[in-house]
């Protein structure tokens, strides 16, 4: 395992040279979306310049080339998460799309009046609302695993919550607003002991640590390409083959069919059964390139570098007067939510922006988390492996400068 050559790495991301209000960009909003390396940008350009074509339909050379590149990306994803087969990799629009797919298809077939779906207290809206919608339709209930003041799930309540009514457990591996890494293995173990399938929202995990779906024995995972240094508009739903075969299609249209008559349609095999219509071809190819890029560095190297940054940032930020951290889990990813006493997070975000520092402010699509802590929102700094300790120092100095103006 090598150390990160940070100066070389940063050259791969041209946007890091951008200036905002005359200051060099300090990009600390990686939980919202990550920046893209030239290795990804080049592949996108190459696709549109040289072989742009539709997939799975043409006999002509360009279409075959596009199809091969698109399917190659699927193999890259399958290897990255260690899926047993690339048929278990469905290309989606993103995390939200993948969760909606499962909620809709699983709900349609397996959810009945009086059943329930179990989620956690720290879910992104995209792992709440799709379940609420299908529960309402089916007369089922949405149940929630509570958390404590540190932003840690109350695991002692899990055995009781996993009662006979629960048909599926869906939780986020890493909280986007608290940084908490949830105990995935234990959650899955307890659910499986009661034959309850598990979906993991890995939108904030896939870019930070190695993830092996077979080792975890998870039934579904959903993530977005754009949080993994890939393009927007592309995502992945992984599902165990037995589950994907058992679920009805999500959408109807081209590519997801074997034969169509006005009387009856026979659906296509996996993975195409869940990919209706022209997919995001360049997005998938770009995601494949992003994964190849991440692999070339190594997720274990990335994890170590980000952990060092997190430790440094937590220590430096703790020195800021009036700071309050929201989320204090021991196990956490490089996401830090905080408030400064007497300062509205929105005002702080604006003044940081004037200094070229990009952070996110607000509820981070986790309103129930904000309600739990009794706050309207937080300021969130989220780090990627291309960030530096110098950038952390700039953030801390920027917060102090902003606080001096605002308080």
Ligand X SMILES: Cc1ncc(COP(=O)(O)O)c(C=O)c1O
Residue 322, CB-side half-sphere exposure with 13 Å CA sphere: 14
CB 307 within 8 A of CB 381: no
Report the Cα 373 to chain-centroid distance in Å.
23
Write out the residues near ligand X by the rule CB under 6 A.
94-96, 124, 126-127, 172, 176, 201, 203-204, 224
What are the φ/ψ torsions at residue 13 (nearest 5 degrees)?
-115, 90
Helix 281-297, helix 38-46: angle, nearest 10: 150
Find the helix or strand (DSSP H, E) in which 265 lies.
strand 265-267
Give the residue with the Cβ less far from ligand X, 173 or 385.
173
Query: What is the DSSP-derived secondary structure letter of residue 324?
Result: E
Q: What's the closest the beta carbon of residue 92 comes to ligand X, in angstroms?
A: 9
Give the residue with the Cβ less far from ligand X, 115 or 201.
201
Q: Which residues are catalytic?
A: 365
Report the Cα 145 to chain-centroid distance in Å.
20
Using a 10 angstrom Cβ sphere, with 0-12 exposed, 13-18 middle and 19 or more buried, the burial of residue 69 is buried
Question: What count of residues does the chain have?
Answer: 407
Give the residue with the Cβ less far from ligand X, 147 or 402.
147
User: What burial letters (b/e) apply to 38-47, b meaning 16+ CB within 10 Å?
Assistant: eebbebbeeb
Give the residue with the Cβ less far from ligand X, 182 or 387.
182
- Copy the structure tokens of residue 138: 């089916």
Q: What's the closest the beta carbon of residue 97 comes to ligand X, in angstroms?
A: 6
Give the residue with the Cβ less far from ligand X, 355 or 366.
366
């Amino acid at each position: 395992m090598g150390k990160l050559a940070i100066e070389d790495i940063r050259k791969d991301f041209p946007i890091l040279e951008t200036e905002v209000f005359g200051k060099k960009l300090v990009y600390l909003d990686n939980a919202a979306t990550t920046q893209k390396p030239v290795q990804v940008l080049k592949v996108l350009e190459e696709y549109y310049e040289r072989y742009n074509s539709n997939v799975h339909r043409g006999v002509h050379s360009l279409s075959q080339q596009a199809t091969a590149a698109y399917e190659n990306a699927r193999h890259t994803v399958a290897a990255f998460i260690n899926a047993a087969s690339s048929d278990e990799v469905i290309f989606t629009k993103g995390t939200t799309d993948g969760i909606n797919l499962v909620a809709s298809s699983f709900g349609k077939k397996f959810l009945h009046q009086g059943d329930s779906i179990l989620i956690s207290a720290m879910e992104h809206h995209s792992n709440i609302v799709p379940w609420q919608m299908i529960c309402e339709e089916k007369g089922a209930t949405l149940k929630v695993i509570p958390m404590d003041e540190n932003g840690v799930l109350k695991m002692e309540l899990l055995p009781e919550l996993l009662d006979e009514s629960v048909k599926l457990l869906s939780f986020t591996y890493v909280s986007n607003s608290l940084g908490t890494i949830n105990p995935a293995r234990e959650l899955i173990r307890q659910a499986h002991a009661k034959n309850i399938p598990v979906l993991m929202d890995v939108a904030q995990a896939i870019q930070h640590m190695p993830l092996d779906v077979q080792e975890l024995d998870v039934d579904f995972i959903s993530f977005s390409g754009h949080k993994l240094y890939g393009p927007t508009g592309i995502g992945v739903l992984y599902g165990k083959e037995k589950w994907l075969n058992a679920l009805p299609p999500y959408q109807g249209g081209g590519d997801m069919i074997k034969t169509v008559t006005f009387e009856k349609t026979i659906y296509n095999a996996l993975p195409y059964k869940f990919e209706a219509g022209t997919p995001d071809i360049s997005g998938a190819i770009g995601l494949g390139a992003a994964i190849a890029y991440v692999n070339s560095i190594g997720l274990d190297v990335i994890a170590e570098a980000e952990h060092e940054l997190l430790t440094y940032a937590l220590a430096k930020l703790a020195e800021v007067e009036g700071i309050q951290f929201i989320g204090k889990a021991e196990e956490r990813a490089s996401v830090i939510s905080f408030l400064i006493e007497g300062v509205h997070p929105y005002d702080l975000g604006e003044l940081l922006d004037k200094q070229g520092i990009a952070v996110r402010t607000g509820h981070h699509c986790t309103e129930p988390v904000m309600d739990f802590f009794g706050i309207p929102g937080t300021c969130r700094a989220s780090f990627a492996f291309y960030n530096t300790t110098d950038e952390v120092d700039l953030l801390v100095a920027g917060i102090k400068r902003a606080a001096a103006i605002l308080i």
